[in-house]
């Protein structure tokens, strides 16, 4: 594969290596599109067992009331349980970016972020981060996290994204980022929500990549 692209003072060695990389990037793009198509073709999952009641900034709200844009709801389970001293820095990093994209996402589907801590604690964290466009909810008094893979049997919290759809008046599950539970390659993280996470997408373009053993912090 060859393109007309040329950059100042590049060598023939650089161009040859870049063209080989371009072939791999095109193959990756095709694979990503193929996986996305398979995802879209999933049959509907099971009916939601109950109309969960969450606590929002404005008071109680049911799952069925969260479909404010069309028939699709994207719900991210944020690792911030009542027994955690601080919110998860990795979830926080991802949500820092998602907060800015939320208005664009809501042009197509409904979007919420759910954590197990009481709503006041969640809103305090959001205020410190400057989040203004995420719909934040507490699952403190329901079993949503446990039922939809956002909580381990020992009560520890897990980062899980779920998609739900309304179908003939019923709410059904459609997709969960279960790559979190697949066996990781040696030295790699689950990367189940990396496509939503600008941090890693930018670092992957650099010579140093993601580095070794580095993770985002709540403050630097």
- For residue 50, count other CB atoms closer than 10 A to its CB: 13
Q: Given this model, what pLDDT does residue 172 score? A: 98
Q: Given this model, what pLDDT does residue 35 score? A: 97
**pTM for the full predicted model:** 0.94
Look at residue 186 and tell me if it is in a domain: no
Range of the domain at 27: 12-41
Q: Given this model, what pLDDT does residue 186 score? A: 85
Counting every residue written for the chain, the total comes to: 220
Do 35 and 59 belong together in one domain?
A: no
Q: Given this model, what pLDDT does residue 188 score? A: 83
Closest CA to 171 of 103, 110, 108, 95: 110
Residue pair 19/2 in contact by the 8 Å Cβ criterion: yes
Number of domains in the chain: 2
Look at residue 155 and tell me if it is in a domain: yes
The CATH number covering residue 64 comes to 3.40.30.10
Collect the ranges in the chain with pLDDT lower than 50.
none
The model's pLDDT over 195-211, given as tens digits with 9 standing for 90+, comes to 999 999 999 999 999 98
Q: Given this model, what pLDDT does residue 196 score? A: 93
């Amino acid at each position: 594969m060859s393109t007309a692209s040329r950059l100042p003072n590049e060598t023939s060695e650089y161009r040859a290596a870049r063209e080989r990389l371009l072939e791999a990037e095109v193959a990756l793009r095709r694979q990503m599109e193929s996986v996305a198509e398979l995802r879209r073709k999933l049959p509907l999952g099971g009916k939601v067992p109950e109309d969960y009641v969450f606590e929002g900034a404005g008071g109680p709200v049911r799952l069925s009331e969260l479909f404010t844009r069309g028939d699709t709801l994207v719900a991210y389970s944020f690792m911030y349980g009542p027994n955690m001293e601080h919110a998860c820095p990795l979830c926080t990093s991802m949500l820092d970016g998602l907060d800015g994209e939320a208005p664009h996402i809501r042009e197509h589907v409904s979007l919420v972020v759910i954590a197990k801590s009481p709503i006041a604690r969640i809103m305090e964290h959001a205020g410190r981060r400057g989040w203004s466009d995420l719909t934040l909810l507490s699952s403190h008094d329901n079993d949503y996290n446990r039922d939809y893979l956002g909580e381990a049997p020992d009560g520890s919290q897990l980062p899980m994204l779920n998609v739900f759809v309304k179908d003939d008046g019923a709410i059904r599950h459609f997709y969960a980022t279960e790559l979190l539970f697949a066996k990781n390659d040696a030295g790699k993280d689950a990367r189940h929500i990396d496509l939503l996470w600008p941090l890693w997408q930018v670092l992957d373009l650099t010579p140093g990549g993601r580095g070794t053993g580095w993770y985002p912090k709540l403050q630097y």
